[in-house]
């Protein structure tokens, strides 16, 4: 059994070579891991944070991860962009003195029906979309 304290987060993947931090929650954590596996093959290391507590969010961990990855942060959520994980992450990062380069992947259209992989891809929050966002930040 694992503890999930309110206001906490879990660092799912981390190395000294991480170029970008991906912050996700729920099913998007699994997509982030798939993306990180794919990116690792091309030499891009990714730090993944499971932000299981969005309010309050673990700003201290997020800011430390952003500093460790050169200010490169992608937030991905299976939620509308307004009022969710991405805005909470951006708010926490606004307290950071160092420059932040931020991308936010979120659901933009009313979802239809289909397999979860198809729906996440259509919404722009699949492993492929996460990998593309990471590549853009990692490559400057």
Q: What is the pTM of this model?
A: 0.95
The pLDDT value given to residue 31:
98
Phi, psi of 93 (to 5 degrees): -75, -20
Per-residue pLDDT tens for 69-116? 999 999 999 999 999 999 999 999 998 878 999 999 999 887 789 999
**Chain CA centroid to CA 47, Å:** 9
Q: Reply yes or no on domain 10-138 having CATH 2.40.10.10.
A: no
Residue extents of the structural domains in the chain: 10-138
* Residue 24 neighbours by CB distance under 10 Å: 28
Interacting residues of 70 by C-beta distance below 8 A, sequence separation 6+: 19
């Amino acid at each position: 059994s694992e503890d999930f304290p309110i206001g906490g987060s879990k660092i799912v993947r981390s190395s000294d070579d991480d170029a970008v931090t991906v912050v996700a929650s729920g099913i998007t954590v699994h997509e982030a891991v798939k993306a990180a596996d794919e990116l690792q093959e091309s030499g891009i290391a990714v730090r993944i944070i499971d932000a299981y507590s969005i309010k309050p969010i673990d700003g201290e961990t997020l800011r430390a991860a952003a500093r460790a990855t050169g200010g490169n942060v992608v937030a991905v959520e299976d939620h509308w962009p307004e009022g969710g994980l991405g805005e909470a992450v951006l708010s926490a990062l606004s307290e950071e003195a160092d420059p932040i380069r931020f991308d936010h992947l979120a659901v933009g259209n009313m979802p239809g029906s289909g397999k979860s992989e198809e729906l996440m891809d259509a919404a722009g929050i699949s492993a492929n979309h996460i990998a593309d966002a990471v590549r853009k930040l990692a490559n400057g």
